[in-house]
Structure 1
Amino acid sequence: MFLVGLTGGIATGKSTVSLMIRELGVPVVDADLIARQIVEPGKKAWKKIREVFGEEILLESGEIDRAKLGAVVFSDIEKRRAINKITHPLIYSEIRSQIFKYLLKGEQFVVLDLPLLYESNKVTSYLYKTIVVACEDELQLERLMARNQFTEKEAIARIEAQMPLEKKCSMASIVIENSGSLANTRKQVEGIVRLLRSSKHHIYNRVVYGGGFVVFLCLAIFLLYWFCLG
């Protein structure tokens, strides 16, 4: 099996592309979904966030008010580090767990949907390919303002807080241009999935890593036998 990273800029359409990939039968590990699940009321991260940030970031239901918490951590880098310290270990632990599950199922490849793929740089060395979803700057701004009800100033601040989209595109193996119609985006996604399915990299991984495990096992047996004879 091999891993493919999927990322993009805020409001460029990464979630739309991720859904299209799923619809084509490709397993996707969604970091955003995991991030929501680990902070559900009563869970470890939820308790720690309530302890650090106080009751004021909770809704009446007990759920975390993501908009309010987002505003708090966005304006304070130390608080942003604090929330990352609470959530990131749990998120990456669940990502590893899901990858292992798909490995056992014999999947050819898995797509990791990671908003901060390049910013965190935790998994890039394990990826066979990386995909960045991009769109025109003005369209990105319009989408973000409409989606989150931000003012233009707020939206620009959120965009500029991320790694520049142009830089992400320069680091990517594949760029999906999502400024046009959904049909055009879907056509790009279908072509990329066909390309990945034609890859033999999963066979290479099995030979290299599977072979390495066999060599290690044989060496361990030999050493055990040698010590027993001695």
Structure 2
Amino acid sequence: MDLENGDEGGAPVSLEEFLVMSEEDRAKLPKSRQKKLAKLEASMKRKDEVANQKAAEMEEEQRAKVEAARKVKITMDLSLPSAQEGMKIRDLHGRGIDIVGVRVKISGWVHQLRWEGRKLMFVELRDGTGFLPAVLSNELCMTVEAITLHREAAVALWGTVVKDERAKGGIELQCDYWELVGSSPGEIEFILKPDSGPDVLMNYRYLVIRGTRASSVLCMRS
């Protein structure tokens, strides 16, 4: 940002330029300008220190969570009915009420992810044929794989289909077991956001077209 030099004249000096100036060059600036820029510099450094401290605290907190999660292991309950495999999400929606109460295995990508506390996680699964809401609770969302799960990760879910009028398609999956097939980088959460610019959207077009809106537009055009 450019700062006016006021009554003392001289060329405008930005804060960015001031930060890289030597002490000798800074001394040549008008006193009022030196004082104002020095205050801005100090304020910026304080903000950076606070941000770095918060980042360090969050990193330490995440490290502690991961260490605790390493102790949590999940296994499939063999007393449950065998799951129907090889099904797609559109197959579940196509069978309507007949699929309710049936235990199935569904594989796909994490389209959306939402947490409610430490022991409840909502996943919207996508497999190219549709979307399916899934609920994971207790130990299922306390493992290392769960707390480091991000959008676009590939997963396999086992669970019972239940009726829920609030869910997309009127059904959701109450999971009793799951596996991480392929992880995705945590940076993806900071790449595609509502305010992402055109350059970002173009660079990550292969991710954008997996979204609900972009994929619907492509389907209409085809």
Q: Provide TM-score, normalisation by structure 1.
A: 0.21
Higher RCO (C-alpha under 8 Å, 6+ residues apart): 1
User: Which structure has more helix as a fraction of its residues?
Assistant: 1
Greater C-alpha Rg: 2
User: Which structure has more strand as a fraction of its residues?
Assistant: 2
